[in-house]
Every structure is written in structure tokens, then in C-alpha cells.
Chain A
């Protein structure tokens, strides 16, 4: 276990430093906005719960570069997500996928609201009689 910490520690060496690109990745502000949103949703795998937007370890820098390249090649967000998941697994995305087991997560808010509605109606019914 300790050994795994060696390289995480080393890689983390610069992670508390403020992470910054040297300039906007794109001239076009819409593309830049999309880029910034995407990189904020990708996990930095060697950090303790930070996105690659907020970290400057070189894994984060490399991944930002890849995403930059993919956006300029007109890949969709889904395709970029797939690219990352193919290599690192779903763990790398902060936004759970809309398919598979994660679908339950996206249904959860509505499901709970329906449950809540049911509870409220039962209570009101019993109290207003």
C-alpha cells in the first residue's frame, strides 16, 4: 500500500500549486467555454479529488491537451467521454454516464420526489379528516 503512495506523492508534488494553462486554449469563446466545462468534469487520477482543470500534474496537462485536440477535431462531448472511459474507466468522469447502472443515479431525484409526494399526500389525508 505504501508503495502506491510513492508515486502519487511525487505526482502530487505540484498539485497544490495553482494549475494554469498559459492562455486560453481556443480563440472562439464558445469553444473555450465548452473546453473549460469539459476539463472541469474530468478527474485528475493522481490527485485527491480534483479535476484536471485545477491540477498541474503532468497527467492533467496531457489529458487537457488531448481534449483540446479532440475538440478541434470536432469530436462531440460524448465521443471525448468515450475516449477517456475506454482508457481509464468511468471513474475518470465526474459526470456519471447516462447508461448502464449509472442511469439509476439520474432517475433518483425524480424517484425520490415521487416518494415524497406519496408521503405528503398520506399525511395530509390522515390529518385533514
Chain B
């Protein structure tokens, strides 16, 4: 019964979404307020029905209803409850339902917080969001129905993929989707503006908080994904340039460019068509990511079980949503010319450079991800493009970008002077150079070109951010008080600096080694001694495991104990490694069990990862900066 209710709710929700789109867009075009009046209630109804559907799927999992195919494929009786819940979005069909739910939540939020916007505009936005959800609901109901039944009902399920039986699954996809889906609001704002023929500084001001909110969730979502892959997959890597990871990074880069572009448009009324194009592109890249991951077109560890028929559907959706918006853009963007000027040296220029470099980075990632496919289609051979290419390609736009961030943060709007820019920056740059050149080399005993560049540039950004924070806290504007917008910006940049510093250190000084030992042996890696004390059985709720107890010594004193495991999950019978990690602010010690080599000997991979937590901590700080910026007074008064 419950799956039927869930299924039925989705069908009704789909029809409501379509109606929502109709009342809004037709109503706005014909100025029919009676029609438009229905938009918000419809949006609310849509949200309610989708929530019901989501709850139905969740209860099917909690009640172990294996007559539902999706539940049978992704759960089992002995699965711990928290994983039964997160399994709801653990595979293709359910994750789509999560996406749809989140889109309906964003829509309701727009309904609630758009009283300051002109009626026509806000109604259009809600209608566009409704049509987007209509598309997703159509896709789900026709090709990926989570409520499909299986007969006869199996007595137990196939279990959730062991790699997903982790807290990471509970939080990473929801946060990531909030970000991906949130960019649809900026998209809807852009399309609404193009339909009404009106795009001005006010529009930029309205769009900003929504975009920043989506961006900050995407930042956390991606950071979480990286952290999860690091400890769960056991190789100690935190980014693989896997196509699915790239698919999440591209919207983030464009979203970052969008936030900056919106700032310029709001403040100075320039870059309007840029901002419009970026608004469309951010969500387009989210959709593109969805397509790449679910169509089976690329090889990836993250890819959902897929088939090309679904891929075709998503492709058609993509063409409609993105193509439609871009055609509108081609027609309307020329009307947006402005007569605002700024000098060659100014904050506007720095932000222009910033955006161009971010777009170049995005294009490079797009090329790296799609070139193998293109080459194969045109008979140019089948090649692979992996980390070796991406890492080098990234540096080309990123290094100038990092430099411009530090210089641009303190530059003046409209007109600035190059000498003054240098003067303002030089003290901080010199300090950063001294610290960057000597401190890492002193502590880790090695140096290198990329290490120095990375250290100096990230420390420069960090120092510049601190100066900005000081300015933001102690601003001497007319209305005294903390300028949260400036504070948010500074903190976000601080987060970026911390992130780059972490990446630089881990890449330069990280150590990874394969060894083997028996009980009683000690291995030395990077100044720490690892002694294998014992190996014993450690069964879990739905798995069998072998656990090693390892004492870690530093300078002959016991530093910590680590317990890496090798698990065999009972249903899927796939072996899995649970690495043991000793985390601290300035390093991680990471050890994973390999295979039993016979005679009590075991192979292990031991890793030393200096400053790796700063990578994810940096992401959190960036998101914090975004949150602070949104809480600025000027947005609150308008709710």
C-alpha cells in the first residue's frame, strides 16, 4: 500500500508541477493575476506530495519491504538503520527522488522569501522551477521509478554496496544536491529576467543570496566527497580527476565566477550579459553532471548503474532546458548593454580576470573529461586523460588566479593605480615569500618550485584575507557595525588560502609506502614507528572482519594505537578495507591492511599526510564565508 501511495503522489506532483509552470508563465505573459495567484499554493502542494512520496520510500526501507525492487536491491535485513535510511538515495532511482525533493524545497523557500520581488518576476521564477521539476518527475516516473515492485518477494535484500555503508553516504549526497539543485534558482532568476526583458542591478542583488547559498552547500558537498573518498577507499588520495568528480567541480567553478560577477553587476551595473550567461551555465553544468553520471557515457568508479535509454531522456531534457535558455540569451542579451566604464586598473578588471581564469579552468576540465569521447567518435584513437594531464593543466590558469586574488582583494572600484596596488600588496607579498620559502623547508627538510609557489601564494592570500577581515570587522562606514558582506568575502578567501596550503603540503611532503610485517615487527615511516601487536576477529552487524592492533611510536613514546580492518560483507561477499587514520591538525597517519602473505605476515600501506585536514577545513571556511555574506543586513530586511 505504502509504495502505491508514494507512486501515486509522484504522479500527482508531476501534474501539479506542470500546472504550476503553466499558471505562472501564461499568467505572467498575459498579466492574469487570477491565474498567477495559484502558483505559490501549487508549489506548496507539489512539495507536500513529494515529501509524502519520499517518506513512503523511506518507510519501505525501514520496514524491509523487499517487494519494492529498489529496496531489495539496496538493503538487507541486517543493515543498520542509519544505512537503511541513507540507502534511500544510495542508487539511481532514489537519488533522483532526493533531487526532486530538494528542488521542491528550494521552490518553497523562494515562495517564502520573495516578497520583496516584483510579483511578475517571482511568479515566473517559481513557475520555471516547477517546469524543471516536471521534467525530473517525468524522467523518474517513466524510466526510473523507485516504487517498482518485484514478484515473488525475496526473503532478504542484496544489501547496500559496502562502500556506501558509511556516514559519508548519509551526508555527502544531500549536501551536494542542495548545491547542484540550488543553482536552478539562479537559472530561474535569469530566465525570468530574460522573459520580462528586465535585468538590472536590483536583479543582481536578488539573485546573490540564493546563488551564494547554493554555492556554499556545493562547497561543503564536494569537500565531504573528497574526505569520504580519502578514508573510505583506502588509497589516501583525496581527488582523482574522475569524470564524476570533474562533473561536480565544473559547476562549482562557474558558481564561484557567478558570485563574483553578480557582485560586480550589483555594485556597478557592468558585466550584465556575463552574469546572465554564468547564471545559465552554472545550472547547465549541474545538469550536464547528472547526464554524465547516469548515462553510462563515461567510465567512473562513481557512476550509477545506468543504461543509454535513460541517457537519451536526460539528453533531451538537457537540450530543452539549456538550449532554450541559451536561445533566449542570444536574443535578449544584446539589449543589456550598459554605458558604465572602468579603468584598466580597477577592481572590476581584477574580477574580470578572475572570472576569465575560472572559465578557462572549467573549459580545461571539460576538455579533459570529454576529449577521449570526442577522439574516439572521430576515429582518432582511444586515449585516457587522467591526473597527470589535469594537474599540469590546472596550474596554468590557477597560478595567475591566486596572484590576482591577493592583489584584487584590496583594489579600488572604478579606478585604481597600478603602483598603489603594488604598494598595498608588497608588504604582505614579502612576508608571504619569506614564510613560504623558509618555513616549509625548515619543517620538512625539502623544497621545490611548486612547493614554494603554492606556499607563497596561499600564504599571501591568507594574510590578505586577515587584513580584509580586520577591515570588515572595524569598518568605518557611516552605519557602524560589522560589514558582513566584506567579512564573508574575506573569510571565504581565507578558506581558499588554507585549502591551497593544504594541497601544496600534502602534494609535496606526503609519503606513501607498501610494506609487510608479522606480529612483533616494527616498521618506520616518516619518523613514526608502527608495531603490529595482534590480529583478531572483529565481527560486525552485517560483516565479518579481521582487525589488526598497531602501536604507533614517536621518539620511542607511544603516540597512538590504530585498528585497521579487513571486512567481508556477508551478503555481497566483497572484501573491503577499513583504513585506520590518526588525524590531527597538522598531519594524518594512515594505515591500511593488505593481504595475508602466509606465516602470519601481512602487507600494509602506510601513509604520512601532512596538513591534509586543511584541505577540508579550508572548504568549510569557504562555506562559512558564504554563510556570513548571506546574513548581511541588506538581504534580511527584504524577507
Contact = CB atoms under 8 A, between A and B. Distances in A.
Q: Are A and B direct contacts in the complex by CB distance below 8 Å?
A: yes
Contacts of B364: 108-109, 112
Interface in B518-554: none
Nearest to A21: B514
A19 interface: yes
Contacts of B382: 89-91
Interface in A90-129: 90-97, 100-102, 105-106, 108-110, 112-113, 115-116, 119-120, 123-124, 127-129
Contacts of B303: 48
A124 B352 contact: yes
B301 A50 contact: yes
B577 A105 contact: no
A90 B384 contact: yes
A18 B388 CA distance: 22
Given A19-B594, A113-B397, A49 B383 contact: no
Interface residues of A, number: 49
B506 to A, nearest CB: 15
Contacts of B594: 17-20, 22, 56
Most buried by B among A21, A36, A41, A127: A127
Contacts of B595: 17, 20, 56
Contacts of B396: 109-110, 113
Contacts of B306: none
Contact of B385 (A96, A113, A119): A96
Given A108-B364, A123-B352, A128 B343 contact: yes
A120 B354 CA distance: 10
B186 to A, nearest CB: 22
B348 interface: yes
Interface stretch (B193-201, B367-375, B465-473): B367-375
Contacts of A49: 240, 242-243, 299-301
B575 A116 contact: no
B575 A14 contact: yes
Nearest to B605: A20
Interface in B388-417: 388-389, 392-393, 396-397
Contact of A89 (B348, B380, B381, B574): B381
A116 B356 contact: yes
A127 B341 contact: yes
A83 interface: no
Interface string B349-361: 1001100110110
A27 B352 CA distance: 51
B225 to A, nearest CB: 15
B165 to A, nearest CB: 12
A16 interface: yes
B508 to A, nearest CB: 13
B342 interface: yes
Nearest to B567: A17
Interface in A1-33: 13-14, 16-24
Interface of B: 162-163, 234-235, 237, 240, 242-243, 270, 299-301, 303, 340-344, 348-349, 352-353, 356-357, 359-360, 363-364, 367-368, 371, 375, 380-389, 392-393, 396-397, 512-516, 566, 574-577, 579, 592-595, 597, 603-605
28 contacts: A13-B574, A16-B576, A18-B605, A20-B592, A20-B594, A20-B595, A22-B514, A22-B594, A41-B387, A48-B300, A89-B382, A90-B381, A91-B382, A91-B384, A93-B383, A94-B385, A95-B388, A96-B384, A100-B381, A102-B383, A105-B371, A108-B393, A109-B364, A112-B364, A116-B356, A123-B352, A124-B344, A127-B340
Q: Which 4 A-B pairs have the closest CB atoms?
A: A94-B386, A20-B594, A95-B388, A18-B577
